[in-house]
Structure 1
Amino acid sequence: MKKLLAAGVMLALVVTLAGCGKLSFSSDATDSSSGTATSKYQTTGTVDSSMYQGVIKNGRYQTSSARGLTITTNTQGSNTYNIKSMESGLKSISMTHFSTSKYDLEEGQLISTATAENWLARQSSSNPDGLNPAKGSGADYQTKRPEYLATLLEQDYMVANGNSLKLGGISIALGMNEYYYYQKKAYGATYSTHIDTPTLNKAGRAMAAKVVARLRKMKGVSNDTPIVVALYKNADQDALVGGTFFSSVTSKSGTQLGDWKTINEQNQVLPVVENEKALNTTVANDFSNFSDQIENFFPTLAGVTAQTHYESGQLTGMNITVNTQFYGQTEIESFTQYVASSAQKYLPSGSKIEITIQSTSGIQAFVARESGEKSFYTHVFGSY
C-alpha cells in the first residue's frame, strides 16, 4: 500500500493533464486495482475504494477542453488554488450521489471550449447564451451588474452498459466571484467589488436552472440522467487558499431542480495573517507547536505554512509546506523522519494531513496520513 501511495504521489507531482476530447462511450472495467483494457477502452485503476477509476479511450486519458477556463475580461482566474480545490471538492460532493464502486470518472466531455466561453461571458445580442448579466446602459455596469460567474467545471460519471459505458450522471461546479475585479479602461488600474453570499446564491441558482436545461438538450444526456450542480465561491486573487462550496442541488429528471442544500465549508492559512482570528484555536495551537518543534530542531528552515479545510466546523484536511535549505540526502532523510514523529505527536488526530518538504531545487520528501488513520507514511525522493 505504501509503495502504491508513494507512486501516486510522485505521479501527481510530475504529471499535469491537459487537452480536449469529444463525448463517446466505450467499455467498462472489472479490475479496480490495476485497470482493465479491451480493444476500445482502458481504466486507470485505483489504490483504494475512495477513488474513482478514470476512463482511457484509444490509449488516451480523456481530458476536458473546458477545464480551467475563466472569463478573460478581467483577472478573476489569477488564484491557481481555486480550480484545484473546486475539482477535488466537486468529486467529494459527487461521491454522495455516484458511488466509486459503480461509477467511473471521466472529465467533462459535454461542454466544449467554445460553449464554455459563451456561457462564461456576458449576455448580449451577439451572445444570448451568456450566463453573466448584460452590460445594460450606464458606465457603472461593473459595480451594478458585476460578472458573478468566473469559471465552470464538468465531471461525467460513467456506468456499465453491457460491453460499453454510458453516461450515468453529471456534476457541474459554478465558480462564483465573491470579489469581482475589473478595469475601467484597458491596461488601467484594477478595482474590485465585493458580492455578498445571498446575491451569489440568487444568481447561482438562476444559472443552475439554465445549465441543467441546456445539458438536457445535449447528445448523450437522457431525460433521467442525474445532474448535480454545486455553487463554489472563489477565493480572492491574493488568497493563499482556494475557495469553498456553499450550495448544491440535484436534477433527477427533466429540467426540474430538487431542494437546494447548504454546504458549510471554510479554508484558512496557518499561521494566520494580518491579525485574522483562527477558525479553530485548538488546530492553530497544534500547528504552532508542530512548526515550533521542527524549526527549533532544524534552524535552517525557511518557513512552515499550512492550508486547512473545515466542513461544518470540523477539520477535514491540512496541507503543510515545509521550505528547507537542505542539500544532503542523509540530512533530508533524518529531517523527514523527525517531521513524521512530530506530526504524530502534535498535529490533530483523525483528519487527512499531507506534508510536502521542499527547497528551491524541488520537492525533497513527502509525509502523509489518510483520514481516520493513526500513523504517517513517508517518502524521500532520491537523486537517481
Structure 2
Amino acid sequence: MKYKQIMIAGLGALLVLSGCKRSSDDTKITDAKGIEAGDYDIQLPFESSDSRVNHRKTSGSMNDVYEIGAGLMSRSKDHFSPDSYLVQEGQVLTYSKTKNLLASQSEDNSNGLNPKKDEAFDTGNGMVKNPAIVTDIYELDFIKNKEIKGLSVALVLQDTFSEDAKTEAGVPYQKKTKMDSKKLRLYGEEAGRKLISYLRKQPQVGDDMPIYIALFLANSSDETLPGSYFADAYFTSRSKEFSDIDEEWVMFPSSRAEELDSATLAQFKNISKSIEDFLPEDVGFIGQGRFNDKKLDELRITVSIQAKDHVECVAVIQRLNALLNDLSNQDMVLKVDVQSNRETIAVLNRKEGTSKITVTMLI
C-alpha cells in the first residue's frame, strides 16, 4: 500500500512538472527570429497552410518543393522587407480553393487555371488533350500587427505532357510533347493575372493589397536538378507587366557548366580529382550550380565515399576543407554534403562574400 502511495505521489509530481514545462514552452512560442541576418521572422503561433498537402503531390521532385519555397521567400524581400514584415504559410488559398484553381476550366469552374477538358490544346509543338499546365500554387503571407498586409504567390507550371499513343504497328507507347517556351510564358502570364483577379475577390485581400507573383517551371526532364523561376510581377491596385527572370540550374561537370563558367568548372574538376586520388576506392563528386543572369550564385556539391572507419572520414573532411579554398568565386553560396555509405557525415558551408568555410561534423 505504501509502495502504491509513493507511485501515485511520483506521478502527481511528474504531472505538475509537465504542466509547468508546457506553460514555459507556451511563453516561448511568441519568439522566433531569423537564423541569418536578413531572414524573415516567422509569425507565431505557427499556422500550417490548409493547401500544403498539395505540394508534394503536384510539384514534382522534392528538389522543386524546397526550391519553390526558398526562391519565393528570397525574391519577396525586394517587395516585403524582413525588417518590416513577419511571414507565415498562406492562409488565403485553402485546400478546396487551390484544388479548384488547379482544375480545368469548365461551366462549373470558371476559376480553373488549366485548359478545358473537351478542347485540344495547341502547345506550339502539337495538339494535346487535357494538359495540366498549372500544377501547383504556393502562397506566403506577410504580416504587420498580426494582420495580412501583403501576399506572394508562386505559380508552378510544367511544359512537357505525356499521352497514350500507338506506333503504326499498334505498339503502345507514351508520346511526349514539349510546349513552346513563348506559348508557355504567355499562358503563365494569363494564368497569373487570372489568379490575381481571384485573390482580389477574397475578403482577406481586397483591391489594394500588394501581391507579388512569380512563375516557376518545374524540371520535368531531369529530377536531379530543381526547376527555375522565369518571370515575375508585383501588383498593387493596378495591373503590372511581367518581367523576365534569367535563372537556371546546371549540373557540374557538364557542357553547360563549361559554357557558363569554365573557370569554376576547372576548379571543381581539380578538387574532384584530388579527392579521388586521396582515397583507394571510387568517389562520387557531383555539383548543382544555380545561375542568375548567367552568374553562378550558388553551388551545391555532394561528395560520396565508402569509408571503412572514423579516421578515414575525418581525413577526407579535412582534405576537402582545405581544397574548397581553391573555388575562387566568393560571390556565390557554397554548400557541400559529405556522405559515407549514403549517410551524411559532415556539411561544409561558405556564405556569399566570404572565404571562411564552416564545417559541421555529424560523426
Q: Which TM-score band applies after superposition, normalised by the shorter structure?
A: 0.7 to 0.9
User: What is the deviation of 1:89?
Assistant: 1.1
| Equivalent residue for 2:253, pick from 271, 274, 285 | 271
Whether 2:230 is the aligned partner of 1:242: answer: no
Over aligned residues, Cα RMSD in angstroms?
2.8
Q: State the one-letter code of the partner of 1:129.
A: N
User: What is the deviation of 1:111?
Assistant: 0.9
Match of 2:190 in 1: 206
Match of 2:291 in 1: 310
| Equivalent residue for 1:193, pick from 155, 177, 181 | 177
Q: State the one-letter code of the partner of 2:319.
A: Y
Whether 2:106 is the aligned partner of 1:124: answer: yes
Compared CA separation, residues 372 and 276, structure 1 to 2 (3 A): closer
| Equivalent residue for 1:378, pick from 348, 351, 359 | 359
Match of 1:325 in 2: 306
Match of 1:150 in 2: 135
CA contact (8 A) 2:264 2:327 kept: no
CA contact (8 A) 1:249 1:261 kept: yes
> Residues of 1 paired with 2:130 and 2:142: CA distance?
35
Whether 2:154 is the aligned partner of 1:173: answer: yes
> Residues of 1 paired with 2:62 and 2:164: CA distance?
21
Q: Deviations over 1:61-104 (max 9, x none)?
A: 322232362697xxx74433122211111112101111111111
Match of 2:325 in 1: 344
> May I ask how many residue pairs the two structures share in their alignment?
332
Whether 2:72 is the aligned partner of 1:87: answer: no
Match of 1:112 in 2: 94
Match of 1:69 in 2: 54
Compared CA separation, residues 40 and 361, structure 1 to 2 (3 A): closer
User: The residue matched to 1:168 in structure 2 has which SS?
Assistant: strand
> Residues of 2 paired with 1:262 and 1:175: CA distance?
16
User: The residue matched to 1:134 in structure 2 has which SS?
Assistant: coil
Match of 1:360 in 2: 341
> Residues of 2 paired with 1:77 and 1:105: CA distance?
22
CA contact (8 A) 1:71 1:121 kept: no
Whether 2:205 is the aligned partner of 1:221: answer: yes
Whether 2:241 is the aligned partner of 1:259: answer: yes
CA contact (8 A) 1:248 1:263 kept: yes
Compared CA separation, residues 181 and 85, structure 1 to 2 (3 A): farther
Whether 2:32 is the aligned partner of 1:50: answer: no
Compared CA separation, residues 142 and 117, structure 1 to 2 (3 A): farther
> Residues of 1 paired with 2:34 and 2:216: CA distance?
27
Q: Deviations over 1:309-345 (max 9, x none)?
A: 0000111000100111124223222221211110112
Q: Which of the two has higher C-alpha Rg?
A: 2
CA contact (8 A) 1:183 1:190 kept: yes
Q: State the one-letter code of the partner of 1:111.
A: L
CA contact (8 A) 1:109 1:156 kept: yes
CA contact (8 A) 2:111 2:198 kept: no
User: The residue matched to 1:102 in structure 2 has which SS?
Assistant: coil
> Residues of 2 paired with 1:91 and 1:69: CA distance?
19
> Residues of 1 paired with 2:308 and 2:32: CA distance?
35
Q: State the one-letter code of the partner of 1:83.
A: V
Match of 1:284 in 2: 265
> Residues of 2 paired with 1:337 and 1:292: CA distance?
16
Give runs of aligned pairs for residues 6-21 of structure 1, distance below 5 A.
none
Match of 2:274 in 1: 293
User: What is the deviation of 1:276?
Assistant: 8.3
Q: State the one-letter code of the partner of 1:280.
A: D
Compared CA separation, residues 239 and 39, structure 1 to 2 (3 A): closer
Compared CA separation, residues 142 and 82, structure 1 to 2 (3 A): farther
User: What is the deviation of 1:370?
Assistant: 0.6
User: What is the deviation of 1:49?
Assistant: 1.9
Match of 1:22 in 2: none
- The answer for unaligned runs of 5 or more in structure 2 is 1-24, 167-171
Identity over aligned residues, as a percent? Answer: 24
Match of 1:17 in 2: none
> Residues of 2 paired with 1:366 and 1:137: CA distance?
51
The TM-score with structure 1 as length reference comes to 0.79
> Residues of 2 paired with 1:70 and 1:166: CA distance?
25
Whether 2:89 is the aligned partner of 1:101: answer: no
Larger deviation: 37-46 or 345-354? 37-46
Compared CA separation, residues 336 and 148, structure 1 to 2 (3 A): same
> Residues of 2 paired with 1:67 and 1:199: CA distance?
29
- Higher relative contact order (CA closer than 8 Å, sequence separation 6+): 1
Whether 2:116 is the aligned partner of 1:134: answer: yes
The TM-score with structure 2 as length reference comes to 0.83
